[in-house]
Amino acid sequence: FDSKRAEQNVASAKIAAAKSDEERKELIASVQGVKEALKAAEEEMQGIMKDWRELMVQVPNVPDMSVPEGDSDADNQEVRQWGELPKFDFEPKSHSELLLLHDMADYERGAKVAGFRGYFLKNDGARLVWALEQFVQSRFAQKDFTPMIVPSMVRREPFMGTGYLPQSEEDLYKTQDGDYLAGTAEVATMGYYMEEILDKGQLPIKFFAFSPCFRREAGSHGKDTKGIFRIHEFVKYEQVVLCEAKHEESVKWHEEITANSETLLQELKLPYHVVVNCGGDLGLGQVKKYDIEAWMPSEMKYRETHSSSYFHDFQTRRLNIRYRDDEGVVRYVHSLNNTALAMPRILCQIVENNQLADGSITIPDVLRAYMGKDVIQQK
């Protein structure tokens, strides 16, 4: 391709320097074959580059040395625990039963209106979600995060940039216009500075982002079919951080955004543990990931409430988000994200861990001012 282009350039120079019309015509005739060969080479190159790009977007990031080996979430390793597991002198009810008992949810009408995994939250179910939203908003108002409400319907490019496409297309809802419904506020938030160059003085940039979220749960057939733990539509507050292109900066902010979420669970007095995900349980772009899982008494195990990851420049290269350092060198920023709070999922752990023998539910202390009551009792 390059040799044909060079040959064309030489021929063009000769044509421009031709001393007679006859010489010019001969040169033009001779270069016609070069032009046709170059056009064919360009078409071939376009196909090659298209195939190359399709392969390159499937190449995963390199995990950190501290990431344990393993094939699935069964190989994740516990890092720490917090809180005492509740001890009941009765058979604890599931969150699904408790929400029905107190008329806090309606699954039957939810399915009638919205299909499988549809739900309505009502009465104290709705109030509890609103209380949780006020709680998490108040806590992050005290931190140096920029609050932001972001789009749920997003173009293809931010999904490609964050690594959700093309791998996770089957789990996304797609509109007839070719846009997608996001399953996390991370996607739109990361697209905010797409194709921009930032100043080093702007870093770190920390967003506290909110959006309604949508997931098809295509690979979850038969899992968590009762209640509201695994649903198609929910709301989520997300921490997203952009920092300097230094590994130690990524590690520092990863620990901080993880600690932010742990503090929320501690204030809610929910027992939890933190696991470091093994290599086989990392997403395409994740260098390292922690899952925070809170205790579910009805299942006698921890279930995920938060997912905290850093990516180095995997996402920012794809999104072309850069910054100019002190020497004027343009570099790709590093990106991180973690759940702040996802609702209504966290209701599952709250109602199960705070249930009493008579079926009533004690409201966590930090939510009582927002709820206007201490206990949810049967009417």
Predicted confidence (pLDDT) per residue in 234-291, tens digit: 999 999 999 999 999 999 999 999 999 999 999 999 999 999 999 999 999 999 999 9
C-alpha–C-alpha distance, residues 286 and 308, integer Å: 10
C-alpha–C-alpha distance, residues 245 and 332, integer Å: 7
Q: What is the pTM of this model?
A: 0.88
Is pLDDT larger for residue 370 or for residue 38? 370
SS3 182: coil
Residues carrying an active site annotation: 215, 230, 304, 307, 345
pLDDT band (50, 70, 90) for residue 26:
low
Whether 351 contacts 95, CB under 8 Å: yes
In the chain, pLDDT over 70 holds for what percent of residues?
91
Confidence at residue 324, expressed as pLDDT on a 0 to 100 scale: 96
The answer to whether the annotation marks 255 as part of a ligand binding site is: no
What CATH number should be reported for the domain whose range is 73-376? 3.30.930.10
The answer to whether the annotation marks 299 as part of a ligand binding site is: no
The answer to whether the annotation marks 127 as part of a ligand binding site is: no
Check whether 9 has a pLDDT greater than 70.
no
The answer to whether the annotation marks 155 as part of a ligand binding site is: no
The answer to whether the annotation marks 5 as part of a ligand binding site is: no
Annotated domain spans of the chain:
2-56, 73-376
The answer to whether the annotation marks 277 as part of a ligand binding site is: no
H helix runs in the chain, sequence order: 2-17, 21-56, 95-101, 107-114, 124-141, 156-162, 186-191, 247-267, 314-319, 345-353, 365-371
One-letter-per-residue 3-state SS of 40-88: HHHHHHHHHHHHHHHHHCCCCCCCCCCCCCCCCHHHCEEEEEECCCCCC
Is pLDDT larger for residue 178 or for residue 52? 178
Other CB atoms within 10 A of residue 303 CB: 18
C-alpha–C-alpha distance, residues 78 and 293, integer Å: 10
| Count of helix runs (H) and strand runs (E) in the chain | 11, 18
C-alpha–C-alpha distance, residues 16 and 26, integer Å: 13
The HSE-up count of residue 55 (CA atoms within 13 Å, CB side) is 6
The model's pLDDT over 278-322, given as tens digits with 9 standing for 90+, comes to: 999 999 999 999 999 999 999 999 999 999 999 999 999 999 999
Average pLDDT, rounded, for the chain = 93
Confidence at residue 7, expressed as pLDDT on a 0 to 100 scale: 67
pLDDT band (50, 70, 90) for residue 334:
very high
319 residue type, one letter: L
